[in-house]
Structure 1
């Protein structure tokens, strides 16, 4: 097994060291048998009790996110002090429910959606957009595909637009409109005042804004 591992290490060489030239390693190998015959160069410490009797506990507090007010109201009935915010929270919470301390959102035309925070939202966008099954969708299609996968957060559409704008492949290979611009054509009307039009020009020199001219065409 050692030879197999050494083959993966470049420029490795095995040397044989005689026992009289490696006395310290020989003394360490006898440490578990007899400690009275060890020389003063070997230091050791005896533990009276195992060091793993008291396992350490690390308390991690999760930061507040957009789900915190909903979870607090559904679990404990906690509402904001502002009456308008409290009324809005009651109205919005009607579509949410808790299951095993996880917030979910009810929908009409889609399955129940799991609510996620910012970090999980970025992971969902990345996997759906360019993951193993991703196809670099546009922003609107990307947001709806994430919803169909069963995930939700309030700013999903805005985050999808921002994510697509930062995707280099979408910017390089996105479809570019290739329609040739054409000159405006004449407008025909069957009766007088049947067609009205507006020409918008601007900004006009020396003045901010645009200039609007109304015109009408008729056939006499």
Structure 2
């Protein structure tokens, strides 16, 4: 239990740190080592004994009573979930205990571990919106590979707006029409009202330009592929900055995110955000798991790590 850390690192005598200060203040007992004795004298100047109880002098001037392990548990429990408790988190909880006039070594660490393991706090914890794994980018070997086909000849007529055919894409810097035919499309408006690009172009010059574009279209596609790889890498780097890796093992306890169809509508905003906990039964694949309830009942379907988190006990 985290409260065993309140005091010395050994579980056999968690209150030995208080005895060390009491022996020095009452009887002048110090360690044989010169350096340890010097450190004890410096630290003991902030402690005093009143009616047999050890107090620490706070920097604010408040005398804080030093707590034993079982006393620290009582104070921590009442400050967190007692009549005046508000289920605050570790840092604010430790500050609240200090303001009440109590002190325990490793107080902040103990409070954080306590709130992290408290069941109600885990059930009402905020939903984790960060992705649970890094972005896996897929680089096409040739244009339109993801379409699963090679386009030979004319583009089939589209029912939707054709503006996308003549608009350069951010990922490639080229238009779809240009990657297919090696040249840019001419809009109907330019035919009706000629621009300098269309009106000053003769048939011979146009044929020469088309021949050149067709001969260099493969180079254009290779350059586009390089630009696409660079764009996807930048996209993955930005995405991966927000990744919160969640990997579980068989036997781990995990709560599952509450969904709209599993939320108790009668509780409204006071409903749990996580349900469970469940056991990890089988690792199905990458970031996918099979779950079972505490009584061994199998939970239908596989569950992605995006909807799970580690349950602390």
Q: Using structure 2 for the length normalisation, give the TM-score.
A: 0.37
Match of 1:165 among 110, 116, 129: 116
Distance 1:143 1:64, change over 3 A: closer
Per the alignment, residue 135 of structure 1 pairs with 86
Q: In the alignment, is the contact (CA less than 8 A) between 2:24 and 2:30 conserved in 1?
A: yes
Question: Is the partner of 2:62 in helix, strand or coil?
Answer: coil
Deviations 1:57-116 (A, max 9, x none): xxxxx9952100100010011101122211111110010111111111111225210111
Distance 1:139 1:64, change over 3 A: closer
Question: Is the partner of 1:132 in helix, strand or coil?
Answer: coil
* Stretches of 4+ aligned residues off by more than 4 angstroms: 177-180
Using the TM superposition, give the Cα deviation of residue 179 of structure 1 relative to its aligned residue in structure 2, in angstroms: 7.3
Asked whether 1:119 is paired with 2:51, we answer no
Unmatched 5+ residue regions in structure 2?
1-12, 136-236, 241-313
Higher helix share goes to which structure?
2
The whole-number CA distance in structure 2 between the counterparts of 1:110 and 1:155 is: 20
Question: Is the partner of 2:121 in helix, strand or coil?
Answer: helix
Unmatched 5+ residue regions in structure 1?
1-61, 184-198, 202-220
The whole-number CA distance in structure 1 between the counterparts of 2:86 and 2:36 is: 40
Q: In the alignment, is the contact (CA less than 8 A) between 2:65 and 2:101 conserved in 1?
A: yes
Q: In the alignment, is the contact (CA less than 8 A) between 1:80 and 1:86 conserved in 2?
A: yes
Deviations 1:147-194 (A, max 9, x none): 0110001111111011011100111102235479xx9xxxxxxxxxxx
Q: In the alignment, is the contact (CA less than 8 A) between 2:55 and 2:63 conserved in 1?
A: yes
Deviations 1:103-145 (A, max 9, x none): 1111122521011111111111111001111111101011110
Question: Is the partner of 1:66 in helix, strand or coil?
Answer: helix
Question: Is the partner of 2:20 in helix, strand or coil?
Answer: helix
| Alignment size in residue pairs | 127
Q: Using structure 1 for the length normalisation, give the TM-score.
A: 0.51
Question: 103-112 or 142-151: which moved more?
Answer: 103-112
Higher relative CO (Cα under 8 Å, sequence separation at least 6) belongs to 2
Per the alignment, residue 71 of structure 1 pairs with 22
Between structure 1 and structure 2, the one with the greater Rg is: 1
Match of 1:102 among 38, 41, 53: 53
